[in-house]
Structure 1
Amino acid sequence: MSQELSRRVAISGAFAAALTVGVAACGHGDKHAGTFGEPAGTPTGAPTATSAEPAPATSSATSTPPPPADITVAGLDGDTLPFGAPVTLTSSARLDSLKVQDGDGKAVDGTLSKKGTSWVSSAPIGPGASWTWTATTAQGAVSDGKIGSASAIRTVGATANIGVGWTVGVAAPIVVNFKTKVTDKPAVEKYLQVLMRPAGSKGKWTEVVGSWAWLPDSAPNSELHFRTKKYWPAHTEVRVVLPLAQLNWGGGVSGVQDFDWTFNIGRSQVVIADARKHNIVIYRDGAKVATYPASYGLDSDPIRNTRTGINVVTEKLQTVEMKSKLFHYDEIEHWAVRFNNNGQFIHANPDTVQYQGHSNVSHGCINLSPTNGKAYYDTAIYGDPVDVRGTNVKLSSTRTEIYDWALSWKQWKAMSALT
C-alpha cells in the first residue's frame, strides 16, 4: 500500500470514530426534545432532577469503532503493478467481503481465501488498467483503495486461421500468428482457453481435451497451434478466448486486442488415402460413402512420393496452374483440394485415368478422374483430415504448414510452454 493510501485509510478510520460520537449525541437530544441533560419541557435555568442512571449518549460516545483493514498489494513497483499477471491483495484483518471493480465499474472476479485474509483475481490485470477495491472486515469496518498497472511498451497484432462462424473439419487446428516474437510464452499460453458444446446448444461450455504447441519461431514472428488429442467431435460449437491485450508477451509487449469468438465443427469427413490400394475411401460421420480409384506419387522416386501421415485440407481451387522447374511441367488442373503445402492436392487429372486404381505415376498429388475429382471437391471443407498411407516418405515439417497430426500426442504436448 502506498503511503498516501495508508494515510487515507487511517484518516477514514478517525473520521468514522468522530462521526459515531456526533450521531450518538444528536440522538440523545432528539430523544428528549431539549437541551442535552435536561428533561423535555423544562425551562432554561429551572432546577433539574439528578439521575444515577448513566446517559445512553455517554456509553456510545466512549465506544471504540472497529479498525479498518490494512490492505497490501503484492508485487508493487513503486505505485504500480506489472501488467499481465493476477493481482493479490492481503488484509491485516479477516474480511467478510472484498469487492474489486475495473475502470468501467465492472466487477473483477477473484477468490477470497477461506481465512478471509487474501484475495487473488481470476484473470491478470491488463496494461494501463485501474482497479478499485472496497474491503469489509468481519466486524463491519470498511476501507477502500485503488491500484494501477504499468502501460505496455508496445502493442502488436495477431491473427487466427479460423474466422468467426466458420464451419471446419474435424482435424482443423487453431493457429495463432503473432506479429512479433513472443519471448514469455508461458505467460501467454496459461490464459488461453478453448471450450466447446454441442452445436445449437445454449448449455455450459466445457474445456476441450487438447494442447497448445509453439512451432519453431519463424523470425521475427511466433506461431501457436491448438490441436485436440483426437479429432474434434462432429457437430460441435467451439469458443476460443484469447485475452492477448491483457497479457505480457515478454519485455512489456502486449496485444492490440483481445479475441473471443466461436466457430463450428461440421460433419466428420475422413479420407483414407491408401497408395498401396490405389484408391481413396471417404467416410462421413463414420459411414463409408465413396471409394474412388486414384494414382499417387511415383513409388520409385522419394521426391515424388505422396507424404504418409494425417494431412489437413487447407484450400480448394476449381482451377489451378501447377508447374515445376524440377520436373519441367506447367499445366492447368481442375477440382484441386490442397492437403499440404508441399504442393500436394487431390485433383482431377484426365491424363492419368488409365493408371488410376492400379499404378502410382504422379508427381506427388493424388489423381482422380474428372467426375470423381469434382464429386470429392464438392464435399471437402477446410480442416478435413486426409490420412495418407502406404508410401515411403512420411509427412514432416519440411515445407508443410500443418503437420500437427504427424506428431504423436506425447510429442505434441511436449511443444507446450507449460510442460
Structure 2
Amino acid sequence: MTKRSIQGLLAVTFAAITVVSLSSCTKSPSYSDAVDAVGSFNTFSQPELDVTGWQDKPLPDSAVGVMPGAPITVKAHNGDISQVSVVGPDGAVKGKVSDDGASWVSSSALDYGAKYTLTAAARGVNGENARKISFSTSSAQNFAAATSVTDDGETVGVGQTVSINFDAPVANKRNAQNAIKVTTNPPVEGAFYWINDSMVRWRPEHFFTPGTKVSVAVRTKGIDLGDGTFGQNNLNTNFTVGRRMVSTVDDKSKIIKVWVNNKVVRTMPTSMGKDSTPTNTGIYMVAERVPSVVMDSSTYGVPVNSPGGYKEVVYYASRISFSGIYVHSAPWSLGDQGVDDVSNGCLNVSPDNAQWFMNHSLRGDVVEVAGTVGPTLPGDDGLGDWNVPWAVWKKGNA
C-alpha cells in the first residue's frame, strides 16, 4: 500500500469516528418502563357474532315481542359463519349463509307467540367463537292481507302508480312501507304515500317513461302493522309501462284529444258535468274498462227516486275516478257533445268513441281535465294520485 493510500484511509476512518462521536453527543431517547396490558393474539383473532332482527336492530338475549316475519340475521366479524341453528316449536328455521360466509339470514317466517333458541358459531384465523340466545315472538290479534291493484306481468299506462291495498287498517304505516321494496329499470326516484289507512301508493315525480319495468316485493307477512294487526302474506308483482297515452280535454272546447307518444291520434267531442254536478279538474288515471256498468246515484247519496236520481246501464265504460266518473257511451247526449255540459260528472262521448277509448286504453293511462267549474280531483280519490304535489308526496304521511 502506498503512503498516499494509507493517508487517505486514515482520513476516512477519522471522519467516521468523528461522525459517530458527534452523533453520540445528541440527547438519547427515553422510554417508559411501564408496559400496559394488552389482549393476546387469540383474543384479537377470534370472530365476533352479531344477531339482528327487524331493520337490522340488535336482537338481545331474552328479547320478547319479536316480529315473526322479520328476518333474523347473524353476522360474523373477523371470521366466517360455521354453524347457525334457530329452533322453535315446529323445529329448525330455514336459512342461508351468504356466499362470502360472513352472514346467515333466515328464509322462513317464525310462528306467533313462540319461543326460539338461536345458537351460532364462527371460525376465525385462530379459533372459534359461539353465541346462544333465546327470544319470543309476538302474538297477533288480527291479520291484514296485501294485494296489488295491477296484475302480475300487466302492461300499464305511464300514469300507473304502484298500488298496494290491505284488507284491514294499517296503524303502523312506517313498518308497512319498510316491508315493501320497489325496483325500477331504468332506476327512478319515487316515494310512498297513503291514500287512506289501507291503501299505499308509490310513484315518481313525473309520469313513468315508456318501457320502464317495475318490480314490487311486499314482505309484510309476520310484520307488526300496529294495534295487534300483523301482515298475513308476502307478495311479488311486476308490471311494464307501455306506450305513452294521455288524453286532454278543456271545457272551453269540449273536445277530448287523445295523444299517443305525443301525437294526436283521435279527437272526441264530449259533454261533461253540468254546473250542479261538475266534472273535477286535474289528472285522472284510467282503471277498469268494462263493456257495461250499472250507474246508481244512490252510491253517492242521491236516492234513485229523487230529483236528479238515476239507475241505468251505460256501455263501453272506462273508469277514471273512484267517485264514479267514467268515459262512457252516451247516445242520449250526442247533440250536446262538443257543445254543452249536461252529464252528472262523467265524460259523455259517442258509442263509437267510447268503444274505441275502452279498447285502446290501458290501466294507468292518463286523462287531464281543465277549465270546468269543479274542484281538483282529490289526491285521495283513489285515481287522483298525481294531483298531490310532489313536495307533499315525497315527504310522505306514514
TM-based fold match above 0.5: yes
Code of the aligned partner of 1:157 = A
Q: Which residue of 1 aligns with 2:336?
A: 355
- TM-superposition CA deviations, 1:21-69 (whole Å, max 9, x none): xxxxxxxxxxxxxxxxxxxxxxxxxxxxxxxxxxxxxxxxxxx993655
Determine if contact 2:78/2:124 at 8 Å carries over to the other structure: yes
Tell me how far apart the structure 2 counterparts of residues 111 and 397 of structure 1 sit (CA, whole Å): 51
Partner of 1:377: 358
- Tell me the distance in 2 between the aligned counterparts of 1:77 and 1:252: 24
Counterpart position of 1:236: 212
- Aligned residues with identical type, % of pairs: 27
Deviation of 1:408 (Å) = 0.8
2:168 corresponds to which residue? Answer: 180
Which of the numbers 187, 194, 201 marks the counterpart of 1:214? 194
Q: Which of 112, 115, 121 does residue 134 from structure 1 map onto?
A: 121
Aligned: 1:192 with 2:155: no
TM superposition shift of 1:97: 3.3
Within 5 Å, which residues of 2 pair with 1:335-414? Answer: 335-397=316-378, 400-414=381-395
Distance (whole Å) between structure 2 residues aligned to residue 190 and residue 275 of structure 1: 42
Q: Matches of 1:151 and 1:159 in 2, distance apart?
A: 24
Map of 2:243 onto structure 1: 267
Q: Work out which of the residue numbers 74, 93, 104 in structure 1 matches 2:94.
A: 104
> How far, CA to CA, are the matches of 1:398 and 1:65 in structure 2?
63
Shift of 1:144: 5.8
CA 1:130–1:416 in 2, change beyond 3 Å: closer, same or farther? farther
Q: Contact between 1:110 and 1:122, CA under 8 Å: does it hold in 2?
A: no
Q: TM-score, normalising length from structure 2?
A: 0.71
The 2-side partners of 1:111 and 1:247 are apart by 27
1:7-406 correspondence to structure 2 within 5 Å? 66=42, 68-69=46-47, 71=49, 73=51, 74-76=58-60, 78=62, 82-83=66-67, 95-98=78-81, 103-107=93-97, 126-128=109-111, 133-143=120-130, 145=132, 150-154=137-141, 155-197=143-185, 207-217=187-197, 222-250=198-226, 253-298=229-274, 301=275, 303-324=276-297, 325=304, 326-397=307-378, 400-406=381-387
Between 131-140 and 167-176, the greater mean CA deviation after superposition: 131-140
Aligned partner letter, 1:165: G
Corresponding letter in the other structure for 2:387: A
Q: Distance in 2 between matches of 1:130 and 1:385?
A: 53
Match of 2:300 in 1: none
Instruction: After TM superposition, give the deviation of residue 308 of structure 1 in Å.
Output: 0.3
Inter-partner Cα distance in structure 2 for 1:106 and 1:157: 27
Preserved CA contact (<8 Å) 1:127 1:151: no
- Specify whether residues 72 and 371 from structure 1 end up closer, same or farther in structure 2 by C-alpha distance, changes over 3 A only: closer
Query: 1:267·1:285 contact (CA, 8 Å) conserved in 2?
Result: yes
Structure 1 contact 311–385 (Cα < 8 Å) conserved: yes
Instruction: Work out the CA distance in 2 between the residues paired with 1:404 and 1:246.
Output: 29
How far apart in 1 are the matches of 2:146 and 2:223? 13
Quick check: 2:96–2:106 contact (8 Å CA) kept in 1?
no
Distance 1:124 1:253 in 2: 22
For residue 364 of structure 1, what is the amino acid of its counterpart? Answer: G
CA distance in 1, matches of 2:189, 2:248: 24
Aligned to 1:47: none
Which residue identity lines up with residue 163 of structure 1 in the other structure? D
3-state SS, counterpart of residue 174 of structure 2: helix
Query: Structure 2: where are the runs of 5+ without partners?
Result: 1-39, 52-57, 87-92, 298-303
> How many residue pairs are counted as aligned between the two chains?
330
Equivalent AA in structure 2 for residue 413 of structure 1: K
| Pair 124,178 (structure 1): closer, same or farther in 2 beyond 3 Å | farther
Superposed CA deviations along residues 78-100 of structure 1, whole A, max 9, x for unmatched, are 16672366767688xx6133468
In the TM superposition, what whole-angstrom CA distance separates every residue of 1:96-128 from its partner, at most 9, and x where no partner exists? 33468673242369997xxxxxx8x88999544
Preserved contact between residue 124 and residue 247 of structure 1 (Cα < 8 Å)? no
Partner-residue secondary structure (3-state), 1:213: strand
Cα 1:132/1:402, change in 2 over 3 Å:
farther
SS at structure 1 position matched to 2:240: strand
Cα deviation digits, residues 135-179 of structure 1 (max 9, x gap): 233434354656656244244322221121222222122222223
Q: What one-letter code is carried by the residue in structure 1 that aligns with 2:62? A: G
Structure 1, unaligned runs of 5 or more: 1-63, 113-118, 198-205
Cα RMSD over matched residues?
Answer: 3.4
The amino acid of 1:76's aligned partner reads P
For normalisation by structure 1, the TM-score amounts to 0.68
1:182 Cα offset (Å): 2.3
Structure 1 position 212, deviation (Å): 0.9
CA contact (8 A) 1:100 1:108 kept: no
Name the CA distance, whole Å, in 1 between partners of 2:105 and 2:187: 17
Question: Which amino acid is the alignment partner of residue 181 of structure 1?
Answer: P
What residue in structure 2 maps to residue 11 of structure 1? none
Q: How far 1:259 moved relative to its partner?
A: 1.2
Q: Give the aligned residue type for 2:191.
A: S
Q: Deviations over 1:343-393 (max 9, x none)?
A: 211112122222222322222111112222222221112211111111121
The structure-2 alpha-carbon separation of the partners of 1:72 and 1:263, relative to structure 1 and needing over 3 Å to count, comes to closer
